[in-house]
Amino acid sequence: MYTFIAKRLAVAVPTLLILIIFSFVLMFAAPGGPFTNERPLPAAVMDNINARYGLDQPYWKQMYDYVYNVVFRFDFGPSFQYRDRTVNDVIAQGFPVTLTYGAWSALVALVVGVSLGIVAALRQNTWLDYLAVGITIGAQALPNFVMAPVLVLIFTLWLGWLPGGGWNGGQWNHVILPVIALSTSYMASIARIMRSSMLEVMNSNFIRTALAKGLPMRRVVMRHALKPALLPVISYLGPAVVGMITGSVVIDVAFSTGGIGQFFVNSAFNRDYAVIMGITILVGALTILFNLLVDVLYAWVDPKIRY
């Protein structure tokens, strides 16, 4: 097991390097640069800026310097768009925000989704099942860019219960709406996966045996069926959790949370090279980490799997 984890972590390094090189190539292939304006800058001014940010160096040198600074100094460089800040500042400020509402969303999606899935599977083809399936289809069909303004309309404008945006250091009333808007579609996916996997497990031989031996339903579900039925949910969770904790541009924009999700899109539009790279590496590293976690969880849940 430990050699497995060590091996996976060793592979992560070249994976990230390839990711960096690939992103660099794509970035430089895009026309325009971070200082492209409606009003093109005079040549002397442009030269000063390029020199200041090392943009006058050949591409390979820029890439080399970047990787060197990241690896040896943990310095992701200055933001080109927000000139009073470094990429480390941008991530240090925005990531805790998305981590907070993302972790809550993951928890809500998991608990509600799994419960809905189990209920629907155990009461297959009853009104409870239809209700659960109805909710999940509705939740999945409703995109969060529609849901976010509707939530604000209801809870802020009509009821006046919750603020329509802002973060305020993560005060609870600012977190609720982003969590609902973000978790809903993940919750729906988890419920659907859980329902079908639970149905399959409940119809398998070992469950039939357990029931035939006269074990009570509750014990059969909790002790015998739940673990194997969770396997597909776990493999879904890896990328889903990364998606949630790195936030979403829709949530960040609709609720002005100040999270890091909006940078995915904005930094690309602004050609803010260092921020693009910083976020790419962050998401890449988290994806690798969570996939590893999922594999470890797998081994723990399913005794048949050994590494």
Query: Least separation, in Å, of the C-beta of 125 and other proteins?
Result: 42
Contacts with other proteins, residue ranges (CB under 8 A): 30-33, 35-42, 44-45, 47-49, 51-53, 78, 81-85, 89-90, 93-94, 149, 152-153, 156-157, 160, 163-167, 252-259, 262, 269-271
Query: Least separation, in Å, of the C-beta of 81 and other proteins?
Result: 6
Helical axes 87-122 vs 273-301, angle rounded to 10°: 30
Residue 33 or 232: the one with the smaller Cβ distance to other proteins is 33
Query: Least separation, in Å, of the C-beta of 51 and other proteins?
Result: 7
Residue 34 or 284: the one with the smaller Cβ distance to other proteins is 34
Query: Least separation, in Å, of the C-beta of 140 and other proteins?
Result: 23
CA distance 95 to 88: 10
70: alpha, beta or left, given left = phi > 0 and alpha = psi -120 to 50? Answer: alpha
Residue 117 or 261: the one with the smaller Cβ distance to other proteins is 261
Query: Least separation, in Å, of the C-beta of 54 and other proteins?
Result: 11
Q: Are 166 and 174 in contact (CB under 8 A)?
A: yes
Residue 159 or 212: the one with the smaller Cβ distance to other proteins is 159
CA distance 23 to 134: 41
Place of tokens 């800026």: 49
CA distances 100 to 87, 243, 265, Å, are: 20, 13, 20
Residue 169 or 303: the one with the smaller Cβ distance to other proteins is 169
Q: Would you state the structure tokens that stand for residue 278, as one six-digit string? A: 């910083």
Residue 59 or 307: the one with the smaller Cβ distance to other proteins is 59
Residue 4 or 82: the one with the smaller Cβ distance to other proteins is 82
Residue 90 or 121: the one with the smaller Cβ distance to other proteins is 90
Cα distance between the two ends of the chain = 6
What's 78's DSSP letter?
Answer: B
Query: Least separation, in Å, of the C-beta of 182 and other proteins?
Result: 16
Nearest Cα neighbor of 255 from 173, 128, 148, 170 is 148
Place of tokens 């083809």: 125
Query: Least separation, in Å, of the C-beta of 165 and other proteins?
Result: 6
Cα angle vertex 83, ends 77, 87, to 5°? Answer: 30
Nearest Cα neighbor of 226 from 262, 184, 258, 194 is 194
Cα angle vertex 140, ends 192, 294, to 5°? Answer: 50
In degrees and rounded to multiples of 5, residue 86 shows phi and psi of -100, 170
Query: Least separation, in Å, of the C-beta of 40 and other proteins?
Result: 6
